[in-house]
Structure 1
Amino acid sequence: MDSSHAALIKDFPPGPLDFYRKQATFDWKKLKLVFEDPQRIKTKDYVWSILEKDDAFKPYDVEPSPEEQKRIAALQLLSFRKYNFLPDNIQSIPVKQWLKHFMTVGQALVVVSPDAAIKLIVDLILAQMSIILLGNSRQKMIGEVTWNSMKPAAFMLTEIAHGSDIKNMKTTATYNEETQDFILHTPDFQAAKCWSGNLGLSCTIGVVFAQLYIKKVCYGLHAFLVPIRHPDTHELYPGLTIKDGGLKLGLNGVDNGVILFHNYRIPRSNLLNKFADVTANGEYVTKLTSPGKVFGSTIGNLSTGRVSVVQEGSEYLIYAVIIAIRYAAVRKQFGVNKNEELALIEHQLHESFRTEMHVILSAAKPLTTWSCQEAIQECREACGGHGFLKASGFGYLRNTNDARVTYEGDNNVLLQQTSRWLLKQWDNLKHGIPVDSPLKTCNFLNDHSAILKKKCTATTLDDYVVLSRYWSVIHENCIDISVKNILITIGLLYGLSCLEKHLVYIYEGNFNAQSSLSKLVRDAILSLCSIFKCDAVAVVDALSFPDFVMNSVLGKSNGKVSRCFEMITDNNFVCRFTKIYKMNFLKNRKPMYLRLLNQNYKILPI
């Protein structure tokens, strides 16, 4: 390990976690440099060091109202912009060049403030999408706008009655030849655009998808740049109705809104026209063969948002596991005798949740977000009653992550799209066309005859290593042998957990050659968890965020949980209420709750 790279990574403060840190079989800093390159570590630490000093990112003891959360998220985004973490001209830079840097900076922001991170993602996607979709003659509309001067924008696709069923959306954009403009209209509330970020209070412009009508002929969904509010006065333009999206389980700092268009006119030039255009005399022009292909080409530019959701889910899963492992290492109860208590991490029941440890390898949104959802709950339960405390951080993680299962593409629908593509490859194969996908992800189908004849006859752990890509990466790169060994253990745990989860399909397909397969898998998981116990704290150290970012009484890097509990009980509502009660009682010689009852309640007649 390069000493200059190691210097980028700060040591953790001493404390109760040192007992397990000293048992680790590898250098956690070497593992961190496997997970993240030095430049990424340096960038994230720089972003966090700046945000920690900014009042807009200070943690709050009592959850603010939804209105206050929206205000805080807006302030955070403004603060984030002023530090110039992203270049001013980012919306004019090709996606391939800015995506890596954006993901690193966005990764640093998402765990501190997911609300501000979502606003950031929406703004950047819309800026990039507008550049991509506008023809050369219209790039001036957006191209001269810098990142720091951009007003909040909104993306409007989903309708009240139609989410994934995009073909049947009802918002219309009818072209008028005489005035050479489009008339946007919402026929009824079922067609109202909803779940649009930044829409309720803040956006000045948006991208709206509507059914394009020309001379009573529908040409399918097309995207339009639509002014929403005056950029200076922020007044809503006539012909629009906007309502707040309502209280949510989480992410209430995201300004979701609902909008209806009442014969709202926009210029012909506001059609995003890279793939299709409408001439002044009302002629529809496109090089593509069908309206469906026009929409497919348009919506394909939104993949950045889905990639961001995958990254967010991975970050939250890491967040939850760090808290659970650190707390398990310092929380003691029960033992082999009366005089000795064991840390939770020593108990076999607690070890089972760690099989999800390396799920960050997942790249698909449904796998990432569902795995994250399940793992956060397991981590919460693994911390016992204390995990139910708001100050533990689990409730915040769970409620915030829950939205990711459905936004940026419903998970079930995404899986159906994947299945449809796989079935198409299979159909080609049956007609004698070999499978040869660009990334080689399904080329195994070419060997289907041999695969279907195989049985699972494994008797050792090594035979269960199914994560071939992961396996090749950790062996191809020059990784320290001690770090490689822990990576192998993590890979085995994840692979075995996948087998355990899907054993029913192995039995259903008659791939098992022995009845003891399920027992073998479970025993192997428990065996690996026992081995992994000494290294668990070091692994989460390699993945961890600063305490400022974690903001969890159970997941402090020094392991001093008791002191953290003492601090929150000193500041919580009960203690504050008790102090106020005593002050009022001594001052007025009258219990405060009686005065409250007299002021706020009426005695009803019997």
Structure 2
Amino acid sequence: MSSEQRVKLLHQQFEAYKEMNEQVSNPIESLQYYRQLSTIDKQKYIELFYGRNWKYRQNLFDIVKNNQHVFKHHHLEEYTREEQRYHSFQAMRHFHQKLGVTYDMFLSDPNIVTTTSVAMYSYDPAVCVKFGVHFSLYTKTILNLGTDKHKQYFENAQTLTDIGSFSLTELGHGSNVRQIQTTAIYDKETQTFIINTPTDLATKFWIGATANLANMTVVFAQLYIDGNQYGVHAFLVEIRDKTNHNVKSGITVGDCGPKNGLNGIDNGFLIFKNVRVPLANMLDKFATVTPSGEFKTQIEDPDKRFAVQLASLSGGRIILSYYGAITSLNALSIGIRYAAIRKQFGLPGEKEQSILEYPLTQLRLIVPLASTLVYTIAAKAINNLWDTTQNNVFNPNKMAEIHALSSVLKGKFATYANKVILECRQILGGHGYHSFNRLGVMLHDQDINNTWEGDSNVLTQQTLKFCMDQKNRFINDQKPIQYASLKFLETFAIKPIKFLKDEDYLCPNNIKYLLEYKLDKQLSDFMEDLTTNLNNNDMLKSWNLSFAFKGQQISNSYADLYCFQQWQELNLKNDSVLDTIFKIWCLTLLDNEIELYKNNEFNISDATVKKLLMKFSNQLKDEAIGIIDALAPPDEILGSIFGSSDGDIYNKFMQKIYSGKNTFQKVTWWEQIHNK
């Protein structure tokens, strides 16, 4: 058969498949049916969930849509790791040229950068992270920790004249930054710092944009002067010569190798051997070294100085909470659209029905949609709080609540995103396993959000300590609680509350009381358990024993209460859809903790909770496609064939399959199949 005959036959087969598919069900019409059921005001939802700067989100999407020759999805193109890195760099540079987001705009309204970053993450997390490593970590560290002498480095970073990385994590230390081993020894004779990697475990590892890209990096190292240690400080180090991109003398740069995801980021490792950097390259806003070797600082307490120096890093942790919520929403956009289109089973003699009509599917997709929307509001709220408190970033008292919230929300939303993606993958059946539908790629790309910017399990200890300190502050010291999220602890009192009718399960005041009750009780139980453990153990062991069984639940309870508070602050009225969303989420809170409440004499009925969940998820089902249409990114950004907004998923899928690189290729090793 000639190639022309083969192409003609394939075309005939494709047309026959297309005709048969349309006879069975028309996916475009199926999606349109659910689209017409929705009653929401889409623009209202865009502004509610993405905030006042939503136009910057749309601007980024338009850049991608209008420059498809640059912005391609690696999972649709079957790129190699090297190709992914190159294309993510090209996308980063193109965004920098086209976005028009300047440093002055950031100063006037940091939320513009937040909104743009979240939109970029929807397109490709690797591009977003590469952008963030340079601008949010490297460049912003120069801004936050540097002084006037570092202005040129900052300007070079702004224009991409320099490309920088952020060298904090080591092979042997991640979360415990204070114990990193890289050293910076001051040499008075030459007025230079000598940077060294004293052990293998001191190797700077997982450093983004370093294996291939960066010519500059901020190195965090232990400062030594005349044999005395002065803690961790930051130093600007040139790692490559810009004229030829060769690695500088005394520095070893290597590639960390393949990863589970985010292969568009060139994570590298760095080893330093007697690398000298000028005295001026120490970022010295809060501590400096004189030419004669005298250490001077504005903050004498080393613990406070360390906390202040790392305070600006909270921004990364905070925006990761937004990434987690948006990833869940993107996954649900794919899953819900597919469920509306996919028809399976029905009564004998009747047409098959969309799987979205099945109660089990509604529990698997519509209930998570409600939770995701509540989490999106909470993520937006904490990012807005961060964006409006930039002037207080070095004030520990002002930042304590933000730090505690970000320490739990980052991990909570990342873990939830993993769960949602897996559910949507299974909703798509075998199709969900295909790379062209992005869900597998999405899972691998976002899973790291549980780890970087602080391991989520470790970080929740920060949240617990904050909650416990505030409770002790009021009880023991009789001082008012200054943070809004925990203010209730001053007046909280046990009161009788009955669940006799459906309305009792849906009353916001009842839900609020249960959330406050749970957090207060868990805090009291933890403190009692800690006191008991202290009778036989030191503080470290006692804390670890108590935290292992009781600590994480407290942090999660605090997160739930914050999410509740932020939704209530919206003061939404006369919107039955948003009301239904909130009811579903509140019912999931009851369902998740029903044993705790029952064991403490609340007469909550498991059957009633489940009945109401089914009732309201069935109601929200009719609005789901409208919500997705309003909040999901365009197809060019979502990058999932089965998540296509026009519903023409099967035709697009087969066209993509037919046009694949090796779809009809005979293997080069075919002779080995038949020769024994």
| TM-score, normalised with respect to structure 1 | 0.87
Structure 1 residue 46 corresponds to structure 2 residue 43: no
Structure 2, unaligned runs of 5 or more: 1-26, 380-408, 513-562
Structure 1 residue 493 corresponds to structure 2 residue 509: no
Residue 237 of structure 1 aligns with which residue?
A: 248
CA 1:525–1:144 in structure 2 vs 1: closer, same or farther (change >3 Å)?
Answer: same
Residue 311 of structure 2 aligns with which residue?
A: 300
Residue identity in the other structure for 2:250? G
Contact 2:591 2:609 in 1 (8 A): yes
Residue 285 of structure 1 aligns with which residue?
A: 296
Once the 2 structures are TM-superposed, how far is the Cα of residue 172 of structure 1 from its aligned partner? 0.9
Residue 68 of structure 1 aligns with which residue?
A: 83
Residue 462 of structure 1 aligns with which residue?
A: 506
Structure 1 residue 173 corresponds to structure 2 residue 155: no
CA 1:15–1:341 in structure 2 vs 1: closer, same or farther (change >3 Å)?
Answer: closer
Note the alpha carbon deviations across 1:341-374, whole angstroms, 9 max, x for none. 1111100111112222223233321222111111
- CA distance, structure 1, for counterparts of residue 61 and residue 199 of structure 2: 46
Contact 1:547 1:556 in 2 (8 A): yes
Once the 2 structures are TM-superposed, how far is the Cα of residue 284 of structure 1 from its aligned partner? 1.0
Once the two structures are superposed, the pairs formed by residues 504-523 of structure 1 within 5 Å of their partners are 504-507=595-598, 510-514=599-603, 516-523=604-611
Residue 419 of structure 1 aligns with which residue?
A: 464
Contact 1:435 1:445 in 2 (8 A): no
Note the alpha carbon deviations across 1:271-317, whole angstroms, 9 max, x for none. 11111111111111112122222221111012222233222222211
Structure 1 residue 317 corresponds to structure 2 residue 328: yes
CA 1:471–1:67 in structure 2 vs 1: closer, same or farther (change >3 Å)?
Answer: closer
Once the 2 structures are TM-superposed, how far is the Cα of residue 62 of structure 1 from its aligned partner? 4.2
Note the alpha carbon deviations across 1:540-594, whole angstroms, 9 max, x for none. 11111111111212111111222123213322466322xx57xxxxxxxxxx654
Residue 102 of structure 1 aligns with which residue?
A: 113
Residue identity in the other structure for 1:492? K
Contact 2:180 2:202 in 1 (8 A): yes
- CA distance, structure 1, for counterparts of residue 429 and residue 28 of structure 2: 25
Once the 2 structures are TM-superposed, how far is the Cα of residue 417 of structure 1 from its aligned partner? 0.6
- What is the DSSP-based 3-state SS (H/G/I as helix, E as strand, rest coil) of the residue aligned with 2:266? coil
Residue 524 of structure 2 aligns with which residue?
A: none
Contact 1:174 1:214 in 2 (8 A): yes
Note the alpha carbon deviations across 1:219-243, whole angstroms, 9 max, x for none. 1111111111112221111111111
Contact 1:230 1:236 in 2 (8 A): yes
Between 1:564-573 and 1:147-156, the stretch displaced more is 564-573
- CA distance, structure 2, for counterparts of residue 135 and residue 348 of structure 1: 60
CA 1:65–1:436 in structure 2 vs 1: closer, same or farther (change >3 Å)?
Answer: same
Structure 1, unaligned runs of 5 or more: 1-12, 582-591
- CA distance, structure 2, for counterparts of residue 132 and residue 95 of structure 1: 14
Q: Which of 263, 286, 295 is 1:252 aligned to?
A: 263
- What is the DSSP-based 3-state SS (H/G/I as helix, E as strand, rest coil) of the residue aligned with 1:224? strand
Note the alpha carbon deviations across 1:160-180, whole angstroms, 9 max, x for none. 111111222111111111111
Residue 559 of structure 2 aligns with which residue?
A: none
Contact 1:319 1:544 in 2 (8 A): yes
| TM-score, normalised with respect to structure 2 | 0.78
Contact 1:470 1:491 in 2 (8 A): no
- CA distance, structure 1, for counterparts of residue 579 and residue 107 of structure 2: 32
- CA distance, structure 1, for counterparts of residue 220 and residue 496 of structure 2: 49
- CA distance, structure 2, for counterparts of residue 113 and residue 249 of structure 1: 15
- What is the DSSP-based 3-state SS (H/G/I as helix, E as strand, rest coil) of the residue aligned with 1:158? coil
Q: Which of 124, 129, 143 is 1:131 aligned to?
A: 143
- CA distance, structure 1, for counterparts of residue 207 and residue 109 of structure 2: 24
CA 1:561–1:224 in structure 2 vs 1: closer, same or farther (change >3 Å)?
Answer: same
Residue 401 of structure 1 aligns with which residue?
A: 446
Contact 1:82 1:148 in 2 (8 A): no
Residue identity in the other structure for 1:188? T
Structure 1 residue 82 corresponds to structure 2 residue 68: no
Structure 1 residue 17 corresponds to structure 2 residue 34: no
Once the 2 structures are TM-superposed, how far is the Cα of residue 41 of structure 1 from its aligned partner? 3.8
Residue identity in the other structure for 1:378? E
Residue 565 of structure 1 aligns with which residue?
A: 653
Contact 1:15 1:558 in 2 (8 A): no
- What is the DSSP-based 3-state SS (H/G/I as helix, E as strand, rest coil) of the residue aligned with 1:149? coil
- What is the DSSP-based 3-state SS (H/G/I as helix, E as strand, rest coil) of the residue aligned with 1:424? helix
Residue 367 of structure 2 aligns with which residue?
A: 355
Residue 36 of structure 1 aligns with which residue?
A: 50
- What is the DSSP-based 3-state SS (H/G/I as helix, E as strand, rest coil) of the residue aligned with 2:232? strand
- CA distance, structure 2, for counterparts of residue 94 and residue 210 of structure 1: 32
Contact 1:86 1:102 in 2 (8 A): yes
Residue identity in the other structure for 2:377? L
Note the alpha carbon deviations across 1:221-274, whole angstroms, 9 max, x for none. 111111111122211111111111111100011111111111211111111111
- Would you identify which runs of 4 or more consecutive aligned residues in structure 1 move more than 6 Å? none
Once the 2 structures are TM-superposed, how far is the Cα of residue 152 of structure 1 from its aligned partner? 1.6
Residue identity in the other structure for 1:361? I
Once the 2 structures are TM-superposed, how far is the Cα of residue 492 of structure 1 from its aligned partner? 1.4
Between 1:148-157 and 1:411-420, the stretch displaced more is 148-157
Once the 2 structures are TM-superposed, how far is the Cα of residue 522 of structure 1 from its aligned partner? 2.2
- CA distance, structure 2, for counterparts of residue 512 and residue 539 of structure 1: 38
- CA distance, structure 1, for counterparts of residue 662 and residue 155 of structure 2: 54
- What is the DSSP-based 3-state SS (H/G/I as helix, E as strand, rest coil) of the residue aligned with 2:40? coil
Q: Which of 181, 195, 199 is 1:184 aligned to?
A: 195
- What is the DSSP-based 3-state SS (H/G/I as helix, E as strand, rest coil) of the residue aligned with 1:212? strand
Q: Comparing both structures, which one devotes a greater share of its residues to helix?
A: 2
Identity of aligned residues (%): 29
- What is the DSSP-based 3-state SS (H/G/I as helix, E as strand, rest coil) of the residue aligned with 1:111? helix
CA 1:134–1:454 in structure 2 vs 1: closer, same or farther (change >3 Å)?
Answer: farther
Between 1:536-545 and 1:42-51, the stretch displaced more is 42-51
Residue identity in the other structure for 1:469? Q
Contact 2:473 2:481 in 1 (8 A): no
Contact 1:221 1:291 in 2 (8 A): no
- What is the DSSP-based 3-state SS (H/G/I as helix, E as strand, rest coil) of the residue aligned with 1:173? strand
